Amino acid sequence: MPQGDDSFDFGEERPPAPRSFVSDAGSHAGSGHRARLRERLLKGGAEALADYEVLEYLLFAAIPRGDTKPIAKALLARFGSLAGVLNADPKALQRTRGVGENTAAALKAVATASRRMARSEVGKKPVLGSWQALIDYLTADMAHLTVERVRVLYLDTRNRLIDDHHLADGTIDEASLHPREVIRRAMDVGAAALILVHNHPSGHPEPSRADIDVTRRIAEAGRLLGVTVHDHVIVGREGHASLRAKGLI
């Protein structure tokens, strides 16, 4: 049997479950452990569980029988954190013993739900007045990407998000983030302001010289046409950096 079967791969062939594992009533030896985790989660919330236990519980839906703790710990060891697991590529997830397509899809569904919840918080209020919600959304969506992605958040006169534009993937420079194109789209969507965003796959969010230079060029182009560049935010696994907060624009 190929590695990665969602019922937990025991090797080339899966032996029959011993009587201690499956009872006549159809329960299994791990049912008590699952019930205890459920009780702790419902009574104590997410903080009552360690990261591997949260992941273990998420795996229950895709792996109805068997011990999911080894899989949860293996995923955390491979991807470094709970966020790293949830944002990992499905094919990469399936390279972990016991993780098949159904399990990878279940984990991606959780990550998708998390990003949509974060985005809904951003869309409800003026962005500048809910800055932490914006950072949470961008971190969830971009911090664990393995490629550099450039986005522009276009805002209306009340600083509400009207367009979250995925501009390009690749190293940031004038080819991927051309000032004229960025400002032209602002005019097309009726934006009064914008926030530039990109990620550093290295994890370290400090701005480069190219980041600073292209931001200043876009800010100058925006001033000529009445479009304010509020900030350029860089996100990574180690945190985020704001060029505005650093006094660079």
For residue range 84-134, list pLDDT tens digits in order: 888 788 898 999 998 999 899 988 888 888 777 766 666 666 777 778 888
Q: Are strands 149-155 and 239-242 parallel, antiparallel or unpaired?
A: unpaired
pLDDT digits (tens, 9 = 90+) for 148-204: 889 999 999 999 999 999 888 876 554 467 888 999 999 999 999 999 999 998 889
Kindly state the average pLDDT of the residues 20-47.
Answer: 63
Highest mean pLDDT among 29-38, 142-151, 218-227: 218-227
- For a pLDDT cut of 70, what percent of the chain falls above it? 81
For residue 96, what pLDDT is reported?
Answer: 92
- 3-state percent helix, strand, coil for the chain, nearest multiple of 5: 45, 15, 40
pLDDT score of 42 = 81
CA-nearest of 43, 36, 143, 139 to 56 is 36
| Domain residue limits, the chain | 1-124, 126-242
The alpha carbons of the chain give a radius of gyration, in whole angstroms, of: 23
Q: How confident is the model at residue 2 (pLDDT cuts 50, 70, 90)?
A: very low
User: The pTM is what?
Assistant: 0.64
The residue among 197, 83, 88, 192 whose CA lies nearest residue 140 is 83
**Residues in CB range of 87: below 8 A, 6 or more apart:** 111, 140, 143, 144, 145
Alpha-helical runs (H) found in 81-205: 82-86, 90-93, 101-124, 131-142, 179-189
Report the Cα 76 to chain-centroid distance in Å.
Answer: 15
Q: What is the CATH number of domain 126-242?
A: 3.40.140.10
